[in-house]
Amino acid sequence: MKKIIFLSCLLLSSAFFAGAQSSETSSSLTLQQAIEYAYTHQSAYLNAVLDEQISAAHVKEIVGIGLPQVSGSFDVKDFVEIPTSFIPGEFFGGESGSYVPVKFGTRYQASAGINASQLVFDPTYLIGVKATKGLRELASKNTQRTKIETAVSVSKAYYNVLVSRERMALLDANLIRVKKLKDDTQALYDNGFVEKLDLDRITLAYNNLNSERENVARLLTLGEYLLKYQIGMDIYSGITLADSLNDEQVRNISVSAEKPNVKNRIEYSLMETNKNLQGLNVKRYKAGYIPSLFAYGAVSANASRSKFDIFDTSKRWYPTGIIGGTLQWNLFDGFQREKKMKQASLELKKADLSLINTANALAMEAESSRTNLLNAISSLNAQKKNLELANDVVRISKLKYDQGVGSNLEVINAETSMKEALTNYYSALYDALVAKVDLDKAMGTIK
């Protein structure tokens, strides 16, 4: 019995540790791999792909209007009470003005038939088929726009985590250095070489730095949640960033003065497609003045029975066949089509103006993004120099303090300045990375 209990516990513990190990599995992703992961897991992009597929099905539905339309029918009636008809009485020798009720027909009747129609000519349909090309383009371009937006959002979230991790590493190094200074000051205080005020100052600085480190750690966790959300991953799963930051490359980014080509932007292309569709809408209303032609045909058969033997093949069904054509021409509709065409023409003018405004807005966005990147790089270079100066000040202050020619207040002030320089530097680094992504998007170079 004891052996059974021991084995059961062993199996349970093995299952527990196996589950714990599987839950702690971490994915290592480069930025490009994170973007590719988002393309297969991010719901916004997947919904855009589904919308494109829905649009493709809708296009085929429109094209199907011009294909033969065939329908079949089968109907069976049981006249529990055969309808009564009234025949003038004089037919049976009765008085004039009188009617005699009679019943005609059989109790069971059935009919079966096939109807077919074909659109022969309809100018509005032909224009509609042309418009399906624009609808397909619109759906495809909407997917492309969502794809670009996904790449942008994933890139920003990825850079945020990278910068936060770098900042955490330097904060940890600073914390170790200040902790050593605090311990040294504590030892000096215990031996009566420094005042309690000196110890309190360094303890306060250490507590503030430790508090900031905890805040950054929480923000880092939140940033990792955001990254996993952006790529469509479970936010509680593990993730490792395979890429690393190279601030020198960021500081040396070359910003081209090339004039932006708004036609590279998917937003402009969407507006162009929308304008083309508006133009086809005007043509559709104009084509409404031209008649349309339909051809049709039908074959049916009827059977009447006193008994329910509708499916008895030895008894006759009576066929009927018909073919024909319909020419439809709307001669006057109270000027409705004319007014609709007027509205469509005005919408086309609005689409043209919107296209011009979009081109200006996109050009302005590109120039603004270029300026933001230049400013961000300039600020990053300045903050890099400030960080190096702050490092030197900390090093010299600590050296003077160790040699007994400086005070711990001077060291504390240097550490405080170092912390501020660190915060400013990593904020500038993130701003530069984001500005580069925004410029790439504004120039239409993100594909």
The H or E element that residue 275 is part of is helix 266-287
Q: Which two tokens stand for residue 145?
A: 């726009």
Q: Could you tell me if residue 85 is inside a domain?
A: no
pLDDT of 301 reads 93
Q: Measured between alpha carbons, how far is residue 407 from residues 94, 144, 183, 208, 390 in Å?
A: 138, 61, 15, 19, 17
Instruction: Spell out the residues 6+ positions from residue 334 whose beta carbon is closer than 8 angstroms to its own.
Output: none
CA dihedral 300, 303, 308, 310 (to 10 degrees): -50
Q: Could you tell me if residue 55 is inside a domain?
A: yes
Cα radius of gyration rounded to whole Å, the chain: 41
pLDDT of 447 reads 67
The H or E element that residue 265 is part of is none
- Give the whole-angstrom CA distance, residue 297 versus residue 366: 61
The sign one gets for the Cα dihedral 206, 208, 212, 217 is positive
pLDDT of 84 reads 84
Domain count, the chain: 1
Q: Measured between alpha carbons, how far is residue 133 from residues 85, 139, 272, 274, 333 in Å?
A: 59, 10, 13, 12, 30
**pLDDT tens over the chain, length 447 residues:** 333 333 333 333 333 333 433 344 567 899 999 999 999 999 999 999 999 999 999 999 999 999 999 999 999 998 888 888 888 877 777 777 788 888 877 888 999 999 999 999 999 999 999 999 999 999 999 999 999 999 999 999 999 999 999 999 989 988 998 899 899 889 988 998 888 988 898 899 899 999 999 999 999 999 999 999 999 999 999 999 999 988 888 988 888 888 999 999 999 999 999 999 999 999 999 998 899 999 999 999 999 888 888 888 788 898 999 999 999 988 888 888 889 999 999 999 999 999 999 999 999 999 999 999 999 999 999 999 999 999 999 899 888 887 878 788 888 888 889 889 999 999 999 999 999 999 999 999 986
Q: Could you tell me if residue 321 is inside a domain?
A: no
Q: Could you tell me if residue 62 is inside a domain?
A: yes
Q: Could you tell me if residue 148 is inside a domain?
A: yes
| Half-sphere exposure at residue 256, Cβ-oriented, CA atoms within 13 angstroms | 10
Going by their DSSP bridges, the two strands 238-241 and 26-29 should be labelled as parallel
pLDDT of 433 reads 96
Q: Could you tell me if residue 76 is inside a domain?
A: no
Going by their DSSP bridges, the two strands 69-78 and 84-88 should be labelled as unpaired
3-state SS of 174-213 is HHHHHHHHHHHHHHHHHCCCCCHHHHHHHHHHHHHHHHHH
Alpha helices in 302-446 (DSSP H): 336-402, 408-442
CATH of the domain at 286: 1.20.1600.10
pLDDT of 9 reads 37
CA-based max dimension of the chain: 146
Q: Which residue segment(s) compose the domain that 159 sits in?
A: 27-67+122-291+336-442
- Measured from the Cβ of residue 210, the count of other Cβ atoms closer than 10 Å reads 14
pLDDT of 198 reads 85
Residue keyed to tokens 């170092």: 418
Q: Could you tell me if residue 1 is inside a domain?
A: no
The closest alpha carbon to 111, from 303, 299, 298, 297, belongs to 303
Q: Could you tell me if residue 308 is inside a domain?
A: no
pLDDT of 66 reads 92
The closest alpha carbon to 412, from 65, 174, 85, belongs to 174
The closest alpha carbon to 40, from 181, 233, 214, belongs to 233
Question: Residue 224's Cα: distance from chain center in Å?
Answer: 20
